[in-house]
Amino acid sequence: MGLLKRFFNQTRKPEGLLGALMLRGMNSGHGELADWGFTHLPAIRPAQIVDLGCGAGRNAGELLKNYPAAHVTAIDYSALSVEKAAAYNKKSIDAGRCTVRQGDVSGLQLPEESFDLATAFETVYFWPGLEKCFSQVARILKPGGFFLICNESDGLDATGRKFEKIIDGMKCYTAEELGTALRKAGFSDVSVDHHGKKPWLCVLARK
């Protein structure tokens, strides 16, 4: 595997030096996408938020800013991501407002019906079975809770299809595929928005 391909494969589970470089780029490179995604959230006052696939922790930090009364739990499969996200949000962790944990979204070790909002930015591409993982998210959300998914690819763009061939285990889903899996997992009121100029996709579902 060439160096470039090894670097892009760090997207799935960052490890080592290449993983650290990838995580540094994620915090800066995905900020605009995430901020666009945040605009799709309704006027809510969540007490408990979970950010799934938190990467280096930037979006968990933004959730803490956007909802100053909330506690944010940040989860990632990668131990390195957990380390970086904890460092990024150290002040909030010390203040008791944030928890960063390693975990697998296909088997979340979190209590049922305990979160008001779940977010997933640039991560569902790698989840092992959408319906199974979405069912886990539904399990930990309170009735009426929201699940926000934000992807840079809408599953149809050329760039997304190119990266599917480069990054092992990556699958770019269409809005229809995401909506179908969400409804099967127990979500309702699924709404989808495409960015006007980019293949960005935002999906908001309610339990």
| 7-59 pLDDT per residue, tens | 444 455 555 554 444 555 556 656 799 999 999 999 999 999 999 999 999 99
Give 3-206's CATH code, choosing from 3.40.190.10, 3.40.50.300, 3.40.50.150, 3.30.1490.20: 3.40.50.150
- Residue closest to 20 by CA, chosen among 30, 10, 29, 33: 10
Q: Which residue has the higher pLDDT, 160 or 138?
A: 138
Is residue 187 within 8 A of residue 136, CB to CB? The reply is: no
Give the pLDDT score at 4.
Answer: 46
| pLDDT (0 to 100) of residue 159 | 83
Residue 8: the pLDDT is 45
Strand partners for 120 = 149
The predicted model gives 152-158 an average pLDDT of 90
